[in-house]
């Protein structure tokens, strides 16, 4: 029903336009247009009053007037439809054949090589843009992240290499051949790890915020004597730590980060 009403509305608009045209023509040629104007007026008034449109136009012409062309379904049909008005005297010219090509977009590049090749084309066509150098491809390659625990430890080891006692305290971190005597005066040797040199003791004192004091810490009675005192470090709370043992932390191949934790633990001793 809505389609019929819309079609009749279109017929009314066309009849009105024809009537207006004839009215304008009547002013120029009143005698020639009088009869035609009268007939158009009668048909238009009959249509407005709801009478059958067949009095003004044959049924076949009414059906043709309200039948709209189907919308084009393809690009070719669209271009053909756009070109028709020119053949029928329309002021619009036919759509150029190049318009079809203009609607076709290039496919997006799917590989890095295609991308580089595509963005390099403007330079060959006179563009002010320069082609991307081949080195740009290499610049986008980042080193792969470690994928295993071993790879992670290897990378961490390279960044936190294990220091040695000699690299930190010098060629002689400990006293060479420390000795003592028994009650009978017999000489015996002590383990050098307990006898830091004065230089090593001073460096450890700086690490932990203490002071160097020398005292016999291994034997103190019973006729046993030390030939060399132990260089000790006294902490702020009065606790003594042996800097020779601290220097030994660097003999196990531990990374510096682990040694720092061990020294911090010594500094907190009570």
In angstroms, the CA 210 to CA 231 distance is 12
Question: Mean pLDDT, to the nearest integer, of 98-124?
Answer: 60
In angstroms, the CA 40 to CA 42 distance is 5
Q: Which helix (H) or strand (E) holds 186?
A: none
Check pLDDT > 70 for residue 102: no
3-class SS of residue 128? coil
Give 86's pLDDT tier (boundaries 50, 70, 90). Answer: very low
pLDDT of 37: 55
Check pLDDT > 80 for residue 258: yes
- Output 71 or 152, whichever has higher pLDDT: 152
Query: Which of 4-18, 108-122, 195-209 ranks highest by mean pLDDT?
Result: 195-209
Most distant CA atoms of the chain, gap in Å: 162
H helices within the chain, ranges in order? 2-28, 30-48, 59-66, 75-87, 98-102, 112-124, 135-139, 149-159, 165-169, 198-208, 243-248, 256-267
The overall average pLDDT reported for the chain is 73
Question: Mean pLDDT, to the nearest integer, of 117-122?
Answer: 62
What is the per-residue burial (b if ≥16 Cβ within 10 Å, else e) of 75-97?
eeebbeeebeeeeeeeeeeeeee
> How far is residue 134 from each of residues 117, 119, 125, 140, 190, measured CA to CA in Å?
10, 12, 19, 11, 68
Domain ranges in the chain?
Answer: 2-66, 165-267
Check pLDDT > 50 for residue 60: no
Cβ–Cβ under 8 Å, residues 160 and 138: no
**210-252 pLDDT tens trace:** 999 999 999 988 899 999 999 999 999 999 999 999 999 999 9
Question: Mean pLDDT, to the nearest integer, of 62-91?
Answer: 53
Question: Mean pLDDT, to the nearest integer, of 110-120?
Answer: 69
pLDDT of 151: 73
The CA-based angle 155-159-165, given to 5 degrees, is 125
Cβ–Cβ under 8 Å, residues 237 and 223: no
Check pLDDT > 70 for residue 31: no
Question: Mean pLDDT, to the nearest integer, of 12-33?
Answer: 66
DSSP state of 231: E
Check pLDDT > 50 for residue 52: no
In angstroms, the CA 213 to CA 238 distance is 11
Out of 135-149, 194-208, 214-228, pick the least confident.
Answer: 135-149
pLDDT of 176: 96
């Amino acid at each position: 029903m809505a389609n019929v009403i819309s079609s009749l509305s279109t017929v009314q608009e066309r009849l009105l336009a024809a009537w207006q045209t004839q009215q304008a023509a009547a002013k120029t040629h009143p005698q020639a247009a009088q009869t035609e104007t009268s007939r158009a007026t009668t048909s238009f008034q009959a249509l407005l009053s709801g009478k059958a449109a067949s009095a003004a136009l044959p049924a076949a012409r009414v059906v043709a007037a309200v039948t709209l062309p189907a919308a084009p379904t393809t690009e070719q049909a669209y271009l053909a439809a756009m070109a028709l008005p020119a053949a029928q005297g329309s002021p619009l010219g036919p759509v150029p054949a190049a318009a079809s090509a203009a609607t076709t977009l290039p496919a997006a590049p799917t590989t890095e090589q295609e991308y580089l090749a595509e963005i390099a084309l403007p330079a060959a066509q006179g563009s002010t843009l320069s082609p991307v150098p081949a080195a740009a491809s290499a610049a986008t390659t980042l080193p792969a992240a470690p994928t295993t625990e071993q790879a992670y430890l290897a990378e961490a080891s390279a960044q936190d290499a294990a220091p040695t006692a000699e690299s930190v305290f010098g060629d002689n971190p400990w006293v060479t051949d420390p000795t003592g005597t028994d009650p009978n005066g017999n000489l015996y040797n002590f383990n050098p790890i307990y006898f830091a040199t004065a230089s090593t003791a001073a460096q450890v004192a700086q690490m932990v915020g203490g002071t160097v004091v020398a005292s016999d810490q291994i034997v103190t009675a019973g006729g046993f004597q030390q030939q060399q005192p132990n260089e000790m470090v006294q902490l702020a709370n009065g606790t003594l730590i042996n800097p020779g043992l601290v220097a030994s932390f660097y003999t196990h191949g531990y990374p510096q980060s682990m040694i720092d934790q061990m020294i911090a633990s010594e500094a907190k001793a009570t």
